[in-house]
Structure 1
């Protein structure tokens, strides 16, 4: 039996009269590279915020590492990394200073070595002392990933990580995900873009109208793309 790292049952979330999530059920196993696809506005970001404990659901049950989040919130958060669609970086600080700030929040030991290693991993070591305000969108995305990894989390959430990345940066990201996955890290990614991300995953899902309506693994890209297009067409009716 797979080691279940995250189990979500009947997750619901509304904002005012708008119901965004309408009974999401999801299991993430240790070592997964799970990508959830969906069009803009179907609730992907809302869901990933709930799963990463940065937003509360209205109802439903969420267990991470076998524990309810309300009981072991701090312990669970220390094992989670979250790369948001918005970088959450300080523009006036350098790349190194940004990571140093977050390293201090987590009381990271040997932070100098850790920061240097991460900046090399994401291809930004040569820009360590440059202000983040001068960075391109893609560079900020890579630095945001380094920020999410600063405390060596076991479960890493990625919100539209390929936005603004050129081919070289996409390769850096995919190689890093693969290496960390081989070391035992688990990934959950949301995106609308099949072309950039499909080959990196071992499990796939589609979110539509507030629910995960399709899940599979080991499927060919062409077959999955056809299913995705079919579901997107249904949304318009």
Structure 2
């Protein structure tokens, strides 16, 4: 498989505070990676750098052959981002939101409406397609933000705690959408707290702590979820972590 994400020597400082310390990361096309770690480990900062939202203090990132420092807009055309923020417009309907973002990505007009209808059905919002987003619940907004991130058919999907605010129905809809993605061609990177769901959805698991990668393994190499949790507890420099992994005990 071809390498689609290559990060070398990534460091990030905010003032005197060093958040990332010389991170090296390589991902092959079609791989699904889950990143765990306590608050302040640098997970979200790494995701923001890879998705061109912020720039590293040091280091280089190549996305599908594109240097994101030299051509960030070119890299963004390949990327979809799901985060705590929905990036939706409350005054617009669900359909109008997706139409707006479709046009931002320069999608062909004759394909646009078909793609929007397809996504609304996948996230189970077709019956609310013409309702204003301001009337949606948190879970509904999150489902629509998933559709927003996928509207231009990105080859890389970055997800920062995508389960935040999702009820069971929305979580199932989200996972169904992920499973529909082309496993061979869509690379997924997810920051998560939920090891059980990550093992089901991802090929590779990583732990970060204090701005460094302290663990990196495929799910096939992990004998059990309990084994992974023990590894997590032994590697992360805190004995009070309730954020890095849910149900740690």
Normalising by structure 1, what TM-score?
0.93
Count of equivalent residues: 235
Single out whichever of 27-36 and 185-194 deviates more from structure 2.
Answer: 185-194
Tell me which residue corresponds to 1:199. Answer: 200
Normalising by structure 2, what TM-score?
0.89
- Aligned-residue offset at 1:229: 2.4
Gaps of 5+ in 2: 241-249
Report if the CA contact (8 A) 2:11-2:57 is conserved. Answer: yes
Q: 2:13 is paired with a residue of what secondary structure?
A: strand
Within a 5 Å distance, the mapping from 1:41-190 to structure 2 comes to 41-109=40-108, 110-182=111-183, 184-190=185-191
- Aligned-residue offset at 1:200: 0.7
Cα distance in 2 for residues equivalent to 1:200 and 1:97:
30
Cα distance in 2 for residues equivalent to 1:152 and 1:176:
12
- Aligned-residue offset at 1:183: 5.7
For the pair 1:227 / 2:226, whether they are aligned, the reply is no
- Aligned-residue offset at 1:154: 0.6
Report if the CA contact (8 A) 2:86-2:142 is conserved. Answer: yes
- Aligned-residue offset at 1:14: 1.0
Which consecutive aligned stretches of 4+ in structure 1 deviate over 4 angstroms post-superposition? Answer: none
- Aligned-residue offset at 1:122: 0.9
Report if the CA contact (8 A) 2:42-2:211 is conserved. Answer: yes
Q: 2:53 is paired with a residue of what secondary structure?
A: coil
Report if the CA contact (8 A) 1:10-1:61 is conserved. Answer: yes
Gaps of 5+ in 1: none
